[in-house]
Amino acid sequence: MGYPPGPCKFMCDQSLLHHGFAPYRTLGSCFERLAMVFPLVLIMGVAAVQAQAAPPAPLQHIGRAFMSPMGEPFYGRTQGEDGLTVWFAQADRNHDGFLTVDEMRDDAQRFYEELDANHDGEIDPDEITHYEVVVAPQFRVRSYVSAQSMPGGDQQVHYDDESGAGRFSLLKIPEPVASADSNFNRGVSADEFASSAAARFKLLDVNRSGRLTLPQLEDIRHAATSVANNKRGSQSQTGPSDNPTSAEYGRSSRPQ
């Protein structure tokens, strides 16, 4: 009796199956084929899942990294260019070379709308986590601990959390987005973000002129970087960087 052709239909006569019989040699051949094919299908399925779950490769940036006063990451577009320059050019909407408090608030609003992914008028805890993990993971603050020997054998421990943020920022604000939550309800409203932008503008406007220039911010940037690099080795020293009225890191060294 012949068997119908075709891949693995048990290739057996139905009447034999009704009587409890089957051509074992043919069934065995089918199972052998399945045994060879199944691992391949399983491997291909696992590979497909892994490919979907794999995070995207990080972008390769050319210029120097910078974190804006509101926490947005920027990078230089060419080798040696500072992300500060890129941010300033964007925030200076009328391109007159000066940054006003209104322009800084407008730039903060633009960034706020990007962070408020569900557009419900609040940056909620999940969106803050997304900011910290996805938007700006490379800007996470690293805390350093150092100890200083005191008279009598005691040790004074110093905790410093600006060494990480200070290399990228103008202000000593470890987490610029979450810190805008002024009422501590674990969410940031648009009004809170705008108020924080105005307050941070005031900190940066050390000359109280009502406007910021790129050279002024570059001076603050240079001072911030210097303080961050030296802080770990000189925890006991104090100086202009400890004065909150001097943009956290020291007044401009340029002639006024």
pLDDT digits (tens, 9 = 90+) for 19-29: 444 444 454 55
More confident residue, 255 or 194: 194
Q: Quote the domain boundaries for residue 81.
A: 65-242
Residue 101 has pLDDT above 80, yes or no: yes
More confident residue, 62 or 237: 62
For residue 181, what is the DSSP state?
-
What does residue 146 show for φ and ψ, rounded to 5 degrees? -135, 160
pTM of the model: 0.62
Residue 43 has pLDDT above 80, yes or no: no
Query: Which two structure tokens, joined as six digits, stand for 13?
Result: 């006569």
| Euclidean distance between CA atoms 54 and 45, whole angstroms | 14
| Euclidean distance between CA atoms 142 and 228, whole angstroms | 11
Q: Give the least confident one: 2-16, 89-103, 178-192.
A: 2-16
Total of domains in the chain: 2
Residue 255 lies in a domain: no
Residue 5 lies in a domain: no
Residues 85 and 206 both lie in one domain: yes
Residues 28 and 124 both lie in one domain: no
Residue 237 has pLDDT above 50, yes or no: no
